[in-house]
Structure 1
Amino acid sequence: MRQRIMHHGVRRRRERRRRAVWTGGELLVTVGVVLLLLVVHQLWWTNREARQGAQRRVEALEREWGQGGGADSGTAADSGSPSAAPRPPESPESPAERDAPATARDTVPTPDPSQAYAVLSIPRLHLRVPVAEGVGKRSVLNKGYVGHYPGTGQPGRAGNFAVAGHRNTHGEPFRYVNRLVAGDTVRVETSSAVYTYAVDRTLRQTSARDSGVIRPIPRSTVHPAHGYTAPGYYLTLTTCTPEYTSRYRLVVWGKLVSMRPR
């Protein structure tokens, strides 16, 4: 019976193939672990870090304003109940603004870029976050803040107070704004007053370039049937949609229904 002779060259080739397969497997495992760590970092760590930082900034603003009221403080209009919302302000100046101290209604300070200067609360979502000037990712949004679009109106003023926030990662303050319905309240607190808006309309999806939604009289340029035609006191919340993408924008609009000076 003949014995099969294994040449050294064949052995070396087989050994190289085994090493290549082993090395490839190790690389795949390493890449998988790295990707898993990146996902954990994006979905868990950035949220944890941003939420803690945002909460500290809210507390700092409350100390600066000399009040320690939490998310549940405020008037009946802030309870989230549509029936509790007071009558909308009249145009061009509401009775609440006429009765407010001059420092509250005549002076509109210009916030410094990236500086948190207000607190936005949405009772239905148990949300309470700082509002900062600008919509830069690193300087504002990635900190878990809500960003105010430069050039749009300020809280409680005629025009459109327009803000943006992440829907996923980095605190994701606007993750559930799609759950808001007409009549839900949004409260914006500043050093001089507390403004309450009532959610009025929602545009479920529009282009990321639809600048009409943040104009003084907000109206979509992509979906012209959505928006307003007359001046008023508006609030606009914008975020990305669908979740975990930035292809489109979700828009929620509200109208000012009350103002309470501090």
Structure 2
Amino acid sequence: MGTAMRGGRRRRGRTAVALGLLGELLITLGLVLALFVGYSLWWTDVLADRTAGHAGDRLRQTWGIPAAPPADGAAAGPAPQYAAGDGVGFLHVPAFGRGDQTLIRMGTTAQVLDEGVAGVYEEPYRSAMPWDAEGNFALAAHRDGHGARFHDLDKVAVGDPVVVETRDAWYVYRVAGALPQTSKYDVGVVAPVPEGSPFTGPGRYLTLTTCTPVYTSRYRMAVWAQLVRVDPVDARRTPPPELR
């Protein structure tokens, strides 16, 4: 009997050791996951905001350099052409909070969006630019992590203003509709005449897209707006009333 009791104690001892090791492993795994979540949802925001801030400052500095005048008798040149990653301007969404602004750059690759900006769609439809006679200026941004510029996109309501700031003009849009959820493969939402939007023919539109629900990338949401006014930039760069 003594031998059996000693054998039982040894088995219980080994079980206790194994459970202890398993517990420590689970605690370690939990800490690693917590650190990863912290990195994804906080530290990437810090880095992205810093990068976007520097890039935005550089863009505004270039705006301070006078453009070369056309040669005598020559017509003004064509609208500027932008390559992937180039800065275009700034997006202002008052519904996101007072003073909110987001740098706009060409492209929607992870390399672009991870820097805390709104990216201009170049495919499957190449976006029209705000100054074009017609078309859809379609933008994407992260909802969580990497700046989370569109985290509150679901708070934008019909009738809200959205303003795009470029070197020479303020483009004032008015929200006309939204699609809370659709497939992330639904490219029609960024078409020249966005599918599912209130628009039925060509016009001057703005589309904002991001992932949904929060903290996932399973679906896509879209907000659509229509241009209502273009205000030229004055010497003091006074923002339009919608931003004051």
Contact residue 87 and residue 104 of structure 2 kept, 8 A: yes
1:195, 1:259 within 8 Å by CA — same for their partners in 2?
Answer: yes
Determine which of 15, 23, 26 is the counterpart of 2:24.
26
Distance in 2 between residues matched to 1:239 and 1:125, nearest whole Å: 14
> Cα offset for 1:242?
1.3
> In the alignment, residue 109 of structure 1 is paired with which amino acid?
P
TM-score by length of 2: 0.81
Map 1:1-262; keep pairs closer than 5 Å.
5-6=2-3, 9-66=7-64, 103=76, 107-126=78-97, 127-137=100-110, 139-150=111-122, 151-157=126-132, 158-220=134-196, 226-262=197-233
User: Which one is further off, 245-254 or 7-16?
Assistant: 7-16
How many residue pairs align between the two structures?
Answer: 217
Letter aligned with residue 216 of structure 2: T
2:179, 2:221 within 8 Å by CA — same for their partners in 1?
A: yes
Give unpaired runs (5+ residues) of structure 1. 68-101, 221-225
Alpha-carbon distance in structure 2 between the residues aligned to 1:26 and 1:179: 43
2:79 and 2:223 map into 1 onto residues whose CA distance is: 24
Find the counterpart in structure 1 of residue 68 from structure 2: none
Runs of 4 or more, structure 1, over 6 Å off, are none
Whichever residue aligns with residue 241 of structure 1, its letter is T
In the alignment, the residues of structure 1 paired with residue 198 and residue 81 of structure 2 have an alpha-carbon distance, to the nearest angstrom, of 27
Aligned equivalents of 1:234 and 1:110: distance in 2? Answer: 19
Identity of aligned residues (%): 41
TM-score by length of 1: 0.76
Where relative contact order (Cα < 8 A, 6+ residues apart) is larger, the structure is 1
* Cα-to-partner distance string for 1:198-238 (whole Å, 9 max, x where unaligned): 11111122221221111111123xxxxx4421110000001
Q: Which moved more, 1:166-175 or 1:108-117?
A: 108-117
Structure 2's unaligned 5+ residue stretches are 66-74, 234-244
